[in-house]
Amino acid sequence: MTSRTSVTSRVSADSSSLPYKYSSNTSSVASSSSFSSSHHAPSSSMNLTSSNNMTPAIYLSRLVDVSQMDIQSALDQMKSLLLPMKMNSVYKMAYYRKQTKSHWARDDPAFVFLILVALTVSSLAYTIAFRSDSILRQFITFTLQSILINYGLMGIIIAATARTICDTYLNASLVNTTENAGNPLQNKYHAQQSVEFMYAFDVHSNAFVFWFVVIYGIQFFLLPVVLGKGFVSFLVSNLLYSVGFFGYFYITHLGYRALPFLNNTEFFLFPLALVVFIFVLNLVGYPFGFGWNASRIMANWYFAES
């Protein structure tokens, strides 16, 4: 009788201790989870703040502080953009930037700074090559046209247009959210994302590097050839411009394909067909007097008074 009482009391004691242990572990896990959540929350908040504060005005203010720029990294990215097998590496860096800083766009203006320097130097070289009567005036004019119009204004227009197309027609996150608007369980797991304007301008800048090397760089050393009036000059000139625009649109396509929330980014490859069509049409029309030399058009447009 005594042993039965002892066993019963022991089982009762063990069973009464179970809820206490379970409750203790639960509260421990909960407190650990709470600590982890509170520990990581400021980091997330800080990332969002840095992303929201990255405005064009702040970016331009950083553009004048050369000491804070990573010039070597920008040069390495430019080299990668000239090699077809390494072009994607530039956009992988954008993906890592999104993971660590919560934004896709560059916050270091070194890349843009190098483009501006390259445009200035090449403008001086072209001005000297065309032997303008007023070298200083022509240099300033051509530099401003290259920087403000060819790179800046066209970049803003192209970036804004591409961004609008992406967010309106290609953005999978916005489409899914719209389709599931009446279903809170579905809508809960679709985070809305949109293409950052600064990233769209980065894509333009990346593509512009390839275009610059071909149209401003290689063409400069071939000026005696491409400015001629024969068929060879015509062919070489149009090949240069076709390759330049082909590379520009292809790198643009890679930039938007790197965004995981976009679908059907092959849309940005359509202009390649237009480039090929114009080149072939120009080539076929040459024997009939309808072909045009792109380099001679460029020279007449910018240096007509030379």
Do residues 157 and 114 both lie within one domain?
yes
Do residues 220 and 180 both lie within one domain?
yes
Among candidate residues 233, 209, 241, the one with its CA nearest the CA of residue 122: 209
The answer to whether residues 155 and 201 touch, using CB atoms and an 8 Å cutoff, is yes
Question: How far, in Å, CA of 111 to CA of 208, rounded?
Answer: 11
Among candidate residues 243, 258, 251, 227, the one with its CA nearest the CA of residue 99: 258
pLDDT in tens, 218-247: 999 999 999 999 999 999 999 999 999 999
Do residues 198 and 119 both lie within one domain?
yes
Per the structure, the complete domain to which residue 9 belongs is given by: 1-53
Question: How far, in Å, CA of 133 to CA of 137, rounded?
Answer: 9
Do residues 131 and 17 both lie within one domain?
no
Do residues 70 and 152 both lie within one domain?
yes
Quote the mean pLDDT of the chain: 81
Do residues 134 and 269 both lie within one domain?
yes
pLDDT in tens, 137-151: 999 999 999 999 999
Of the ranges 8-12, 135-139, 150-154, the best mean pLDDT one: 150-154
Do residues 45 and 87 both lie within one domain?
no
Do residues 237 and 292 both lie within one domain?
yes
pLDDT at 131: 84
Do residues 157 and 202 both lie within one domain?
yes
pLDDT at 185: 41
pLDDT at 246: 97
Do residues 116 and 248 both lie within one domain?
yes
- Residue 193: pLDDT band with limits 50, 70, 90: confident
Output 140 or 21, whichever has higher pLDDT.
140
Return the DSSP state at 284. H
Which of 28, 53, 78 represents a domain boundary (last residue)? 53
Do residues 33 and 108 both lie within one domain?
no
pLDDT in tens, 44-66: 333 333 344 567 677 777 787 78
Do residues 92 and 44 both lie within one domain?
no
Query: Residue 72 pLDDT more than 70?
Result: yes
> What is the number of domains present in the chain?
2
